[in-house]
Amino acid sequence: MAEIRVPVLVVGAGPVGVSTALFLGRHGVRSLLVEQRASTSTLPRAPGLQARTMELFRAAGVHNEIRALEVGDSHPYFEGGILQTRTFAEIDDAVVLEAPSLDGPTVSPERVMGCGQDRYERVLAGLARDSGAELRFGTRLTSFTSDDDGVTATIRDLASGEETTVRADYLVGADGAGSRTRQALGLERTGIGTVFNALSIYFRAPELTTVLKDRKFILCYATAAPGTLMGLSRLHGADPWLAAPLYYPEKGETPDDYPDERCVEIIRTAAGKSDMAVEIVAKVPWQGAQLVAETFRQGRVFLAGDAAHVHPPAGGFGANTGIHDAHNLAWKLAAVLAGRAGDALLDTYDAERRGVGGAMARQAMVRNRIRHGYADEETVASMVDDIIITLGYRYQSDAITGGREDAPVLTPNLELTGEPGTRAPHLWLRRDGDRLSTIDLFWDDFVLLTGSRNSGWCEAAERVAKQLSIPVRAFVVGDGGDLVPEDRAWAETYGVSEDGAVLVRPDAFVAWRSAGRAGDQDGSLAAALTRASGLGGGTR
């Protein structure tokens, strides 16, 4: 049996797995990615990429390649919101169910974009390879064991039957809702469970564009088709279209009860055009469920994406949340493997991402209830705006110093004010004539920002970085500084004085801040950096 050695073994090559391999590679960490499918997705699932997701691709230096996949300008479709109508032919009478706020020039340097998973997943896989990852499709993880020093796994080539032993420092299970990795670990999940069953129908219907009168929307529900509520998405460019009628096992229904002829009838009825030409391309049954794993880390093994948390697709949080998981985990694994962080930092992956995963699962359920017409007033009132869910979530972990312990993961209002545990505020800056965002400063090293050359923080950062052997880049932000804000004052935006300082992690989240000068600048900064890098904790 062949044997190979690799720092990280990633299982599952969906958006989360390929993003994990890509982010690791951009941090200089080799990985082996195995996927039992023969290739990346051939269907345009998960067609919306959030502004925060695009920020992560921007930080990794690949956002231009992803943005190039957009069909025209997809932003107006997001602005169209979630609609409901009797038939698509009656689109002029559609009711707006949701009009989510998703981005903005003062919130992020990026915008949401629509693109089919079949296209961006393929490009991400190529970028992961270019970054040093090895991808093996048609390959299944058959078993693994974990010890204090790493993971020993067996993978099988499904075509040849050949098995290979893989010795890795860490294993990341990004293998979907039915995760073999999670099952092998024996981890339980909590939550509501399955809330509905749906059948994704991919189809071509050239006349539908005319029927819809170029009305732009994220999703439109039609109620005319008997016995089902059909949602139609066009974010990916509508070739093919994606419709998702519900079916009801409790009534004895199965996907087999939906032959092509019935699917065509449902689509025509929902469209309000009985003679419309319809070509069925593919049908994929799936379940809308809400379940979160009891932990996202067990020893040297981690769960990410649907393997860790599943929820109904309302809000489009699934693939995006998983990609955020991948980014949070990748920089931490890279820091630990490079000796710049302690094992305790890896514990914060579970502490941070499980809180977010649970909160997003609950919000997806709120949207699901509203869209399907069974939400009470309390449920409606509990809905948090999309921009808070995608950009305004908060982390609470041992790596954060000074965050509000009583603050929920999702606050009622967007609060990007430089508070520890939140994503650092976006500001447009000038540096040597070039325009950049504060978000562009954060990728591989910790970054210290201050508003004055006389504050003493830059010198403290240099001393502390040398003392702890942790790279820290320091910048003065303001007139005459390294970085000059274009439209807003840095100190006010980040909640400090000109003599204050903010320590930002490689993932753009604030680890600590000081409102002004501190009596013991070296000691304060060293304590915060020690916590932020997990050097003060033990191992597990």
CB-facing half-sphere around the CA of 507: CA atoms within 13 A: 33
What phi-psi label fits residue 446: left (phi over 0), alpha (psi between -120 and 50 degrees) or beta?
beta
Please say whether the beta carbons of 128 and 33 come within 8 A: yes
| DSSP secondary structure of 431-478 | ETTEEEEGGGG-SSSEEEEES-TTSSHHHHHHHHHHHHT--EEEEEBS
Alpha-carbon gap, residue 484 to 472, rounded angstroms? 20
What phi-psi label fits residue 455: left (phi over 0), alpha (psi between -120 and 50 degrees) or beta?
alpha
Q: Strands, DSSP E only, in 158-299?
A: 163-173, 189-204, 219-222, 230-233, 241-244, 246-247, 279-293, 297-298
Rounded to the nearest angstrom, the gap between the alpha carbon of residue 491 and the centroid of all alpha carbons in its chain is: 29
Residues designated as active site: 221
Please say whether the beta carbons of 44 and 240 come within 8 A: yes
Locus of tokens 């390879």: 129
Rounded to the nearest angstrom, the gap between the alpha carbon of residue 501 and the centroid of all alpha carbons in its chain is: 29
Say how many C-beta atoms besides its own lie within 10 A of residue 11's C-beta. Answer: 30
Give me the helix-helix angle, 521-532 and 457-468, nearest 10°.
Answer: 50
Please say whether the beta carbons of 512 and 494 come within 8 A: no
Alpha-carbon gap, residue 168 to 175, rounded angstroms? 17
Longest dimension (CA), the chain: 78
Give the tokens for residue 28. 């200089």
